[in-house]
Amino acid sequence: AKLLFITIYVVVCHCLHDCLFSGSGKFSRNCTTAGWSDVYPNISSICWSAEPKDDQLVFYTVVKTLYTLGHSVSLVALVASTLILCLFRRLHCTRNYIHLNLFVSFILRAVAVLIKDSVIFSFDQTTDCSSQPSLVGCKVILVMFNYFIMANFFWLLVEGLYLHTLLLVTYAYTHFAVYLTIGWGLPLVFLLAWVLCRIYLEDTGCWERNDTLIPRRVINWPIMASVIVNFILFVSIIRILVQKLRRSNVGGINQSQYRRLAKSTLLLIPLFGINYMVFVYLVETGSDRMNEYKILFDLGLGSFQGLVVAVLYCFLNTEVQAELKSKWRSVSLKRYVGRDCRLHSVSMSPNKTDPPAGFQRSSRAQSILQTETTSL
């Protein structure tokens, strides 16, 4: 009787959906060892929800275009920053190793977002993921997508932990493996829990839907916790910086020191991901308007965070600029000396009757070499 009632309910709902929304679709249930599974897709979400409005389609199209542009630009800047930190040995230290892993996490996150969109929306922008040719490949992409997003947030947390430890304890040393475990290991634990929840709930789709709260919370709550902890570390670091400035200046903090403090605070905001604190409490809100604000802020503007971090902590870094200038001077000097030597060898006659001109060029090259070496 229960099965008959469910069957009648599904048929009635299907008819209402065709009459009200002029659409077509299929409902399915699986017979398992534990009994019949739930109806997929969710009946209430299909039968009693209207078609998306035109303004909603325009909004999501604009957001998708914005974060695609942001991730693409950030990807180029992050790849260049990663190469710079890897190639110059003088930049190899724990602080830059952490920056390097953060850059890699941003790169993997951007690549995962672009691949996910290209796979899910490869045929039609309104195509449901369950109708993709390969559900296994779609699930693998969703798994990697969630892992790289969590890893990116946890490496932001590692940045906060490292800087806070550096300022709070003078002679503290934390092995780099601890930071690797936090940045790449903890997200893997939560990801495995998310996959097990999906399998236990017998989700036969592409795992892109969030109809149930448990899998969504397994991903969102650790991210929310990392953002909150990073915000606490951010406030603590600002307090430590204010105390150090007061100790260095007994008469109080002057205007230039306030500017330095404000500059340090602004530089730490993108590095710690403090911008995500604006909508961190809106993880499971029911307001459509606030959800749109959160989507625009997190997806649209947040996609440019990798670009901002690469510019501030690589291209504008004085150590990186010094290494690039030194390399450029070295290459320019070798090119000029080589060209001068070639001119000198060509100008020398076989009987060596005119050495003064060559001697002047050689002397000039030695003088330039000595000047450049002194400046370096």
The pLDDT assigned to 244 comes to 76
**Rounded to a whole number, what is the largest CA-CA distance in the chain?**
116
Is the CB of residue 295 less than 8 Å from the CB of residue 278? no
CA distance 321 to 323: 5
CA distance 81 to 311: 8
Per residue, the 3-state secondary structure of the chain, as one string, reads CHHHHHHHHHHHHHHHHHHHHCCCCCCECCEECCEECCCECCHHHHHCCCCCCHHHHHHHHHHHHHHHHHHHHHHHHHHHHHHHHHHCHHHCCHHHHHHHHHHHHHHHHHHHHHHHHHHHCCCCCCCCHHHCCCHHHHHHHHHHHHHHHHHHHHHHHHHHHHHHHHHHCCCCCCCHHHHHHHHHHHHHHHHHHHHHHHHHCCCCCCCCCCCCHHHHHHHHHHHHHHHHHHHHHHHHHHHHHHHHHHHHCCCCCCHHHHHHHHHHHHHHHHHHCHHHHHHCCCCCCCCHHHHHHHHHHHHHHHHHHHHHHHHHHHHCCHHHHHHHHHHHHHHHHHHHHHHHHHHHHHHCCCCCCCHHHHHHHHHHHHHHHHHHHHHC
The pTM of the full predicted model, rounded to 2 decimals, is: 0.71
> Which residues, other chains included, contact 161 with Cβ-Cβ below 8 Å and sequence gap of 6+?
179, 182, 233
The pLDDT assigned to 111 comes to 94
CA distance 199 to 215: 10
CA distances from 51 to 117, 124, 131, 311 (A): 22, 16, 19, 42
Cα dihedral across residues 212, 214, 215, 218: positive or negative: positive
Residue 77: left if φ>0, alpha if ψ -120 to 50, beta else—which one? alpha
Is the CB of residue 83 less than 8 Å from the CB of residue 162? no
> Around 286, how many Cα atoms within 13 Å sit in the side-chain half-sphere?
0
The pLDDT assigned to 283 comes to 54
User: Beta partners for 40?
Assistant: 28
The pLDDT assigned to 187 comes to 94
Burial class (CB in 10 A: 0-12, 13-18, 19+), 245: middle
- Residue from 83, 105, 194, 221 nearest 156 by CA: 105
How do beta strands 31-32 and 35-36 pair?
Answer: antiparallel
> Which pair of tokens denotes residue 198?
């999906």
Q: Which residue reads 């030695």 in tokens?
A: 366
CA distance 274 to 269: 5
Per-residue tens of pLDDT for the chain, all 376 residues = 444 444 444 444 544 444 444 445 666 767 777 667 666 665 555 554 445 566 778 888 888 899 999 999 999 999 999 999 999 888 898 889 999 999 999 999 999 999 988 877 665 544 455 555 557 778 888 899 999 999 999 999 999 898 888 887 766 667 889 999 999 999 999 999 988 888 887 666 677 766 667 777 888 889 889 988 998 998 888 888 888 777 766 555 555 666 666 777 777 878 777 777 776 665 555 566 777 778 888 888 889 999 999 998 899 888 899 998 988 888 888 777 766 666 666 555 455 444 444 444 444 444 433 443 443 3
